[in-house]
Amino acid sequence: MAQQAYVPKAANALTKETFLSLRDGAGIPGEQVVKVYPVFEDFYTAVQSTIAEMRIYGNNTEEEINKAWGNLSVARDERLVKIFTEEEMAKWQKIEPSLRLQRIKEEQKY
């Protein structure tokens, strides 16, 4: 019996999960979360395109993927700090580990 092909989640699906985690899990008001939605959409789109490009060029070692992800995460957080209050940023940092590379890599089999 053949296995079904794995289809990774689209950037907008990952963005929606993050949106819900921020709003429902971290208790950040919906109007604030709406402001950061584009930040996360850009982030997940960049992650997926960067990893796809790394695969094409064969640069997909664990270390290289972690470095690329880290650079994208820093850029994301620099944008978030301009939108979130200090308290909201602290809440984000508390839930961020549950949304990190390892979880997504396992889901998307990178």
pLDDT at residue 109 tops 70: no
Give the chain's mean pLDDT. 84
Spatial separation of the C-alpha atoms in residues 72 and 14, rounded to whole Å = 15
Decide if 69 contacts 47 (C-beta within 8 A): yes
Residue 28: pLDDT over 50: yes
Please state the pTM of the whole predicted model.
0.80
Residue 7 confidence (pLDDT) above 90 = no
Q: What is the pLDDT of residues 36-81, one digit of tens each?
A: 999 999 999 998 898 888 888 876 777 888 888 889 999 999 999 9
